[in-house]
Structure 1
Amino acid sequence: MSETLTINTPDGAFSAYVARPKAASAPAIVVIQEIFGVNKVMRDICDGLAAQGFVAICPDLFWRIEPGIDITDQSEAEWKKAFELFNAFDVDAGVTDIAATIAAARKLDGVNGKVGAVGYCLGGLLAFLTATRTDIDAAVSYYGVGIEKHVGEAEKLNHPLLMHIAEKDQFVPPEAQQLILSALKDHPQIEIHIYEGRDHAFAREGGAHYDAADAAKANGRSLTFFQQALA
């Protein structure tokens, strides 16, 4: 079952896609978009999380630039649009909007008070920053781009963070990965998994670098993580 939620902030209102489980009470997970907006991939992730027993909420984080972005990774024109949005995106404002989404999630009927977050690509960076800057109960980052610029924020981390890193990520070169690992691998709240030979977005079903086996492995780890952290 899905619905649209309107989230109000001092800067304006934006929408979020919500998928609900059959359970009357469940933890919530904020699903943080890639650079393609709240598209079918993100909605399918929400629906999948709902089937696993979570209230899944995917906010439209591009609303300050252009509300309602819903594009794919299947054409050159869409990639061009996606990178234009990425370059225009204000990361700090995005984290503020995620914080507003978390607050709204905690008040939603059927949410038991616990809220996690999972993000992909741009959303992987935002999931990391959500873990360090908000009151989220747990966060998962898939192949986050630009995390190496923010590793110093890990000292503010008070809740568990799971990170999935693609070894051959074209957007996170080896030197960036080394910075991330050196800074974060011994942090007591952080669990990191490296996927050897995988490129960026290996878990995006239908994407050019999708790998079913490693996507299933990462998603299984994420599910176990959330079941424990949001219990």
Structure 2
Amino acid sequence: MLIQNHQVDLETATGTMRVYVYRPVNEGKYPAIVLYSEIFQQTGPIRRSAQIMAGHGYVVLVPEVFHELNPIGTVLGYDDAGRDKGNEDKVAKTLEAHDTDTQAMVDYLKSLPYYSGKLGAMGFCLGGGLAYRAALHPEVLATSCFYATDIHSGLTPSKPGNESLTRTGEIKGELQMVWGKQDPHIPAEGRAKVYANLVACGVNFTWHEVNGVHAFMRDEGERYDAELQLWGYQTALGMFNRALAG
């Protein structure tokens, strides 16, 4: 499916947020996916992920997740300086600010004539945790989280009682969790904590642990696993096609 793209600047509770929009060229109404990036914002791999999902019949929104902390259009490098800056931004921004970003995108989607009204979320690394957070929103019907960081550790600042793990019971849509068993950022005990919490809260979820390292979906660098990446997209699309496009 051929796609097109544009960008829009949305006003949020914490400032102007640049959002990159990818969607099919053909006229019609399409479900949407908010795709949350790693700490580096919209890099080449994240842009290509958005294009892949849009090419399967979705309106895909990629927000600049740290818009309050960087000039519009900032992309951090996959290097030590980019990693350090991204991790600083992660600590500086609260979960509540991410919540208001999500609401701004939900409101924007509702203004689009080509939006079908069905919404999903997807993310990688930091973005996996933000997608999990977005799943708390009542309009998010399906969520795919790839190697989601910080859910088990609660490192991202939040008001007491508003951590994502403590609010898991609010997730009403379908959830998909994908992990790499060789990922040092989310060790086995951390994954077990997330799993037990999902079971205790009665969430409708599927759980996948693969033999992969952190960031195996990123098609740049030494961690990239092309076989797992293809499997990952197929797995996510299977859920979204059923829950959003079916």
Tell me which residue corresponds to 2:218.
204
Instruction: Tell me, yes or no, if structure 1 residue 5 matches structure 2 residue 8.
Output: yes
**What does 1:62-211 correspond to in 2, within 5 Å?**
62-67=66-71, 68-73=73-78, 75-148=79-152, 149=154, 150-185=164-199, 187-196=202-211, 198-211=212-225
> Residues 13 and 100 of structure 2 are in contact (CA less than 8 Å); yes or no, is this contact kept in structure 1?
no
Q: Distance in 1 between matches of 2:116 and 2:82?
A: 38
Unaligned residue ranges in structure 1 (runs of 5+): none
Unaligned residue ranges in structure 2 (runs of 5+): 155-163
SS at match of 1:80: helix
SS at match of 1:71: coil
Q: Which moved more, 1:128-137 or 1:25-34?
A: 128-137
Q: Which moved more, 1:159-168 or 1:206-215?
A: 206-215
Residue 242 of structure 2: which of 225, 228, 231 is its match? Answer: 228
> Residues 30 and 102 of structure 1 are in contact (CA less than 8 Å); yes or no, is this contact kept in structure 2?
no
TM-score by length of 1: 0.92
Q: Which amino acid aligns with 1:43?
A: R
Q: Distance in 2 between matches of 1:86 and 1:154?
A: 21
Tell me which residue corresponds to 1:218.
232
Give, in angstroms, the shift of residue 216 of structure 1: 1.2
Give, in angstroms, the shift of residue 106 of structure 1: 2.6
Give, in angstroms, the shift of residue 144 of structure 1: 0.5
> Residues 16 and 68 of structure 2 are in contact (CA less than 8 Å); yes or no, is this contact kept in structure 1?
no
Tell me which residue corresponds to 2:160.
none
Residue 23 of structure 2: which of 20, 25, 32 is its match? Answer: 20
Report the aligned-residue RMSD.
Answer: 1.7
SS at match of 1:84: helix
Q: Distance in 2 between matches of 1:7 and 1:56?
A: 15
Instruction: Tell me, yes or no, if structure 1 residue 61 matches structure 2 residue 61.
Output: no
Q: Distance in 1 between matches of 2:197 and 2:190?
A: 11
Q: Which amino acid aligns with 2:23?
A: R
TM-score by length of 2: 0.87
Q: Which moved more, 1:180-189 or 1:210-219?
A: 180-189
Tell me which residue corresponds to 2:159.
none
SS at match of 1:126: helix
Q: Distance in 2 between matches of 1:195 and 1:106?
A: 36
Q: Quick one: percent identity of the two aligned structures?
A: 28
Give, in angstroms, the shift of residue 3 of structure 1: 0.4
